């Protein structure tokens, strides 16, 4: 269980999670305990256990996060709830991010992707992860607000960055620490969002986007969401939309850079769509993304390999017995997606990047990149659209060269290539002759 109070938190956030979790699984089996972020935890590393907690017996476990993280998102965010309140909010988010809504967003996401990539071209060294976070943030803004004034975007981006830094730091509420700065930034975010909400109410700007849906909604008792509930959930959705999607896109660039044959095959798939759009003078559409078969396999394999979300938090609402083990009431319970995704029993040669493995659908509960059950990610389809559009433009119009020789991984706690994958980008028509580009 590690040190008093600290437990094994430092090991979790400083080691390769494959090593941290896999070494424990090897020593103790598929069920073991630890102590992280001030909480005693039971960790479960099998598909059956994940299905037990997230599916068949989910009523025995409630969604939960460490209090330090709840404070930064907001206690009214749907992530921390179950029952009718969670169901009501989830319906709102799913409606705002439904296939019909996303289909209409495709041209705007396409425009955002092209604008960002154009700003990269010219051969300057870019921190790829940092830049892709900006792109994901812009897409999140589009989904939540529709159009939003630039000064509000800048205020939100600045304070979200501070919350980011503190979210995965040790939760010490002392002046000068990242966590303290994050708490102050979170208060400012609440005020900024409150101003946006009040403005839109005054102007009756209830367009078809997530904020509009929340402002128009009534629950079963005909009660509207209050200001705190709206702001907490907007903050939660924007936070979830930014970091994880940017991590996946950064890894895809790395894998394509390192695998020339795969890049050429992907380019051949996307070139056909590009030629069709050029003939008809149109942007990429939602319908065209369904034809990106190989690209989707690359996304799936990246999600498996890197398992951006290594685990999820639940809490036992009563004493629970599972396979002869007692899970005490109040303990955190954490299905380990990463361990399942790297299990040799379900994925042959699991440390090898091989998109072709997804030509056959994985067995039930062995591939859960967006979680499982009633708390699975409601924005997964928007994330996929964002990635597919970005990859389309990258491989058809641009070339890139990763700078440096380091192959390490940084954990924050989401895995990203070392230093955010520094790279140079060029438009295909302007690539220097002696470049080692992909």
Name the most confidently modeled range: 105-109, 296-300, 418-422.
296-300
Q: What is the pLDDT of residue 428?
A: 80
Share of the chain above pLDDT 90, in %: 43
SS3 172: coil
16, pLDDT greater than 80: no
155, pLDDT greater than 60: yes
**Domain 82-309+349-430: top CATH class:** mainly alpha
156, pLDDT greater than 70: yes
Nearest partner of 320 among 309, 308, 328, 312, judged by Cα: 328
In whole angstroms, what is the distance from residue 69 CA to residue 74 CA? Answer: 8
19, pLDDT greater than 60: yes
Cβ(180)–Cβ(67) below 8 Å: no
SS3 251: helix
Name the most confidently modeled range: 72-76, 80-84, 171-175, 346-350.
346-350
Task: Identify the band that residue 413 occupies on the pLDDT scale cut at 50, 70 and 90.
Answer: low
SS3 122: coil
Q: What is the pLDDT of residue 147?
A: 85
Q: Which sequence spans correspond to the domains of the chain?
A: 82-309+349-430
Half-sphere exposure (Cβ direction) of 97: Cα atoms closer than 13 Å = 25
* Section 217-245 average pLDDT: 85
SS3 358: helix
Share of the chain above pLDDT 70, in %: 94
pTM across the whole model: 0.89
Name the residue with higher pLDDT: 66 or 89.
Answer: 89
State the chain's mean pLDDT as an integer: 86
Instruction: Determine the distance from the C-alpha atom of residue 150 to the mean position of all C-alpha atoms in its chain, rounded to a whole number.
Output: 24
Residue 433 burial class via C-beta count within 10 angstroms: exposed 0-12, middle 13-18, buried 19 and up: exposed
Which residues pair with residue 410 across a beta bridge?
A: 416
433, pLDDT greater than 70: no
In the chain, the N- to C-terminal Cα span, in Å, equals 46
In whole angstroms, what is the distance from residue 148 CA to residue 128 CA? Answer: 25
Name the residue with higher pLDDT: 63 or 430.
Answer: 63
Name the most confidently modeled range: 61-65, 364-368, 391-395, 403-407.
391-395
385, pLDDT greater than 80: yes
57, pLDDT greater than 70: yes
Task: Identify the band that residue 207 occupies on the pLDDT scale cut at 50, 70 and 90.
Answer: low
- Sign of the Cα pseudo-torsion (212, 216, 220, 224, in order): positive
Flag whether 39 is marked binding: no
Comparing 236-250, 260-274, 314-328, the range with the smallest average pLDDT is: 236-250
Comparing 28-37, 155-164, 344-353, the range with the smallest average pLDDT is: 28-37
435, pLDDT greater than 60: no
Query: pLDDT by residue (tens digit) across 334-355?
Result: 899 988 999 999 999 999 999 9
In whole angstroms, what is the distance from residue 233 CA to residue 151 CA? Answer: 21
The H or E element spanning position 340 is: helix 337-341
Comparing 140-144, 238-242, 383-387, the range with the smallest average pLDDT is: 238-242
DSSP codes of every residue in 25-78: HHHH-SEEEEEETTEEEEEE-SHHHHHIIIIITGGGEEE---HHHHHHH-TTSG
Q: What is the pLDDT of residue 208?
A: 64
E-assigned strands of 45-183? 61-63, 125-127
Comparing 72-86, 201-215, 276-290, 361-375, the range with the smallest average pLDDT is: 201-215
* Section 282-296 average pLDDT: 89
Q: What is the pLDDT of residue 316?
A: 93
Whole-Å CA distances, 111 to 200, 217, 234, 246: 25, 30, 23, 17
Cβ(378)–Cβ(94) below 8 Å: yes
The H or E element spanning position 325 is: strand 325-327
Nearest partner of 400 among 226, 268, 258, judged by Cα: 258
Q: How many residues does this entry show for the chain? A: 438
Neighbouring CB atoms inside 10 A of 149's CB total 11
94, pLDDT greater than 80: yes
């Amino acid at each position: 269980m590690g040190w008093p109070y600290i437990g094994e938190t430092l090991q979790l956030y400083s080691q390769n999670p494959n090593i941290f979790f896999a070494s424990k699984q090897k020593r103790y089996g598929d069920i073991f305990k630890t102590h992280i972020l001030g909480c005693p935890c039971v960790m479960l590393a099998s598909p059956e256990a994940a299905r037990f907690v997230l599916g068949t017996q989910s009523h025995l476990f409630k969604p939960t996060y460490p209090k330090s993280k709840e404070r930064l998102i907001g206690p009214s965010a749907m992530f921390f709830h179950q029952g009718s309140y969670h169901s009501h909010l989830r319906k709102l988010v799913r409606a705002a991010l439904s296939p019909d809504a996303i289909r209409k967003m495709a041209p705007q996401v396409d425009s955002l992707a092209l604008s960002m990539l154009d700003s990269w071209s010219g051969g300057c060294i870019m921190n790829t992860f940092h830049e892709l976070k900006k792109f994901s943030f812009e897409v999140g803004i589009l989904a939540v607000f529709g159009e939003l004034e630039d000064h509000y975007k800048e205020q939100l981006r600045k304070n979200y960055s501070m919350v980011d830094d503190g979210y995965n730091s040790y939760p010490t509420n002392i002046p000068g620490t990242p966590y303290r700065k994050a708490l102050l930034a979170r208060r400012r975010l609440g005020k900024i969002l409150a101003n946006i909400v009040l403005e839109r109410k005054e102007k009756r700007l209830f367009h078809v986007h997530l904020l509009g849906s929340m402002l128009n909604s009534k629950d079963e008792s005909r009660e509207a969401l209050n200001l705190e509930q709206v702001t907490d959930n907007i903050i939660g959705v924007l936070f979830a939309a930014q970091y994880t999607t940017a991590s996946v896109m950064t890894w895809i660039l790395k894998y394509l850079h390192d695998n020339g044959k795969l890049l050429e095959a992907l380019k051949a798939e996307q070139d056909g769509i590009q030629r069709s759009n050029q003939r008809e003078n149109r942007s990429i559409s939602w319908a065209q993304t369904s034809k990106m078969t190989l690209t989707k396999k690359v996304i799936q394999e990246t999600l498996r390999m890197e398992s951006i979300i290594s685990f999820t938090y639940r809490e036992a609402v009563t004493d629970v017995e599972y396979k002869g083990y007692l899970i005490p009431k109040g303990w955190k319970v954490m299905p380990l997606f990463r361990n399942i995704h790297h299990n040799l029993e379900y994925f042959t040669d699991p440390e090898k990047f091989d998109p072709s493995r997804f030509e056959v659908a994985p067995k039930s509960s062995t591939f859960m990149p967006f979680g499982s059950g009633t708390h699975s990610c409601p924005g997964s389809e928007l994330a996929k659209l964002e990635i597919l559009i970005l990859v389309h433009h990258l491989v058809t119009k641009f070339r890139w060269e990763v700078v440096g020789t380091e192959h390490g991984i940084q954990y924050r706690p989401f895995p990203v290539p070392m230093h955010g994958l520094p790279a140079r980008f060029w438009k295909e028509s302007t690539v220097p002759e002696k470049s080692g580009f992909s």
